Structure 1
Amino acid sequence: MLASVRDLDEARIVLDAGVDLIDLKQPADGALGALPPEVISEVVGFVAGRTLTSATAGNIEPDAEAVQAAMQSIAATGVDYVKAGLFPAAWQQGGRDYAAVRACLGGLVPLNGVRRIAVMFADLAPPLDLVDAVAEAGFDGVMVDTALKTGHSLPDVATDDWLAAFVGGARARGLLCGLAGSLREGHIAPLTRLAPDYLGFRGALCAGQARAHALGADAVRRVRGAVQAAQHLAA
């Protein structure tokens, strides 16, 4: 279970609940809003290796120099994973051409001591063979999320067959694989059956299931319990 948090108080809540991956991002700033490095460093210091940490590099157009610089800045905070979004150029205006994304991936280089996860967005029509491009660029993992936070969840914008093919492609390439995107408790069991490495949550953990609201300890524990139950049944 990945839980996205925006500050130290929220990190305390999810660590107490036993989540597997604490993900740092600013939910008020779109899909991959980046937090200030000092906030990330504070949380990483608090976690002190008790669970894994990741942080987003921001909502950046596909430019290798800009993406690399943002990832290096986040990597310096000490997180275990840095997440980079594979946004097609002009995606907010309807752009869905992935040629610039492929070129950007080819221009990125590994980060010293920090693993990299690429984030595809199911509602931006990503081609499945983008998973191969992520692997060829030397990334450690790939996940799929939703970019347009308009109330639609991942299963609303991606078919079961597409998600199964995504997970299968990631596994075939030896990539860590995650599924996220406005997931609710009802999505946990069917998505767990696809056997991703993790499911990611934000809104389902918040008051009123609104991703920009504060996390609630009861909601975090409830989702954590549902994930554990689904894993037990799948095993």
Structure 2
Amino acid sequence: MAIKNLLVLAVLLSVIGVSVANPKGLDLNYYKHRCPDAEAIVRRTTVQYVSRQTSLAAALLRMHFHDCFVRGCDGSILLKSPTKDAERDAIPNLSVRGYEVVDAAKAALEKKCPGVVSCADVLALVARDAVLVINGPWWPVPLGRRDGRISRKSEVNLPSPFAGIAALKKNFFDKGLNTKDLVVLSGAHTIGISNCGLINSRIYNFTGKGDFDPSMNPSYVRALKKRCKPTDFR
């Protein structure tokens, strides 16, 4: 139940991302006349994939955030570059997965409504529906995003997993987001997992003296040590 409640926070990922990328022009009924079954088509495809591999829910929500944080929710993370210079080629995005779900949903839409639904909208819908598949909440996704045509690896300035609160607040402030947005968006992590390698330095050897980060709750540190050994990097 606690996880489900925290998932409500993830709902705002799409809402906030939308406001940053497209402050105007979005509409819940954007495809009502040109592709009325758009959401149903995307949902069917997403269910097929995520029901077989539930970890894709967190992966797809993460992809949506990684897309929105760079140039807004324009689908530019989906673009490929023959010279490996696109957003998806940046180090933080090398672990992004779930592209096949977006591709499959887009292909299904093209059969029904060719050239109508943007890839950016497909990604936003897939992220929402993936969370729904794992019994998370449903939320309305206004549509009408335009696909970005620019995707640069050099522009990927995603928050570092090692950043402190001051750095994170600045990172978000630079994108027009505030502290509340930071807290809400961080809630999206409740449906995923992290790697031991990202936290081991904080629980085993924070200052080089075999201690842990004093800002962490000691009982939480003990729980983490049961899951992560000093030699675990994944």
TM-score interval, smaller chain: under 0.3
Report the structure number with the largest CA radius of gyration. Answer: 2
Higher helix proportion: 2
Higher relative contact order (CA 8 A, sep 6+): 2
Greater share of residues in strand:
1
The normalised TM-score by structure 2 is 0.27
